[in-house]
Amino acid sequence: MDSVCAFMPSTHSSLQYHIVFSTKERRAFIDKEWRGRFHAYLGGVVKELEGFPREIGGVGDHVHLLIGLKPTHAVAEVVREVKIASSKWVHQEIKMFTFSWQDGYGAFTVSPTGVDGVANYIANQEEHHRVKTFQEEYRSFW
């Protein structure tokens, strides 16, 4: 037991989450013209919250975030803050005052060996949604 304590004198974690949330009524608010800037902004919000954005993507009616969080983070609080900040960004930068998010979200843990696969999946959202709707996709996560 003493050798284990000597080997791990500090805390280590690898807490990766795949988070998905949709626009209100699944309306395609997120226009392709500004989507890249929006996804970059979402990553910046995650960084401000001391998280680690790995991949952020999506299409007009939803976003996917693959993020690393600290053990002290509460996923619900991170999602709430990302939604609040990103709504404000759309209102101020895009001047789309009707933009809002659905209340809920999906959050799924990702193993270290699964991170690359999930990142690739998120990066290819436009292609993926040519054959599968958001509802079909989301149901497949369960």
List, for residues 17-68, the tens digit of each pLDDT value: 999 999 999 999 999 999 999 999 999 999 999 999 999 999 999 999 999 9
Distance CA 42, CA 113 (A): 24
pLDDT of the residue at 39 = 98
C-alpha 114: how far from chain center: 16
Cα–Cα distance for residue pair 138/84, rounded to 1 Å? 22
Domain range enclosing 134? 13-140
Confidence of residue 12 (pLDDT cuts 50, 70, 90): confident
Residue 40 lies in a domain: yes
- How many residues belong to the chain? 142
DSSP one-letter string for 75-127: HHHHHHHHHHHHHHHIIIII--TT--B-S--EEEEE-GGGHHHHHHHHHTHHH
Confidence of residue 127 (pLDDT cuts 50, 70, 90): confident
The answer to whether residue 6 sits within a structural domain is no
Mean pLDDT (whole number) for 98-120? 97
CATH of the domain at 124: 3.30.70.1290
CB half-sphere exposure, 66, CA atoms < 13 A: 20
**pLDDT, tens digit (0-9, with 9 covering 90-100), for 64-98:** 999 999 999 999 999 999 999 999 999 999 999 99
In a domain, 65, yes or no: yes
Structure tokens at 133: 């709707």
In a domain, 3, yes or no: no
Q: What percent of the chain clears pLDDT 90, i.e. is strictly above it?
A: 77
The answer to whether position 105 is within a domain reads yes
- Identify whether 126 is part of a domain: yes
Both tokens of 105, joined, read 């979200």
Q: Is the pTM of this model over 0.75?
A: yes
How far is residue 72's CA from residue 57's CA, in Å, rounded to a whole number? 25
State how many domains the chain has.
Answer: 1
Whether residue 67 is contained in a domain is answered as yes
Domain membership flag for residue 1: no
**Tokens linked to 136:** 């079909």
Name beta bridge partners: 17: 67, 109
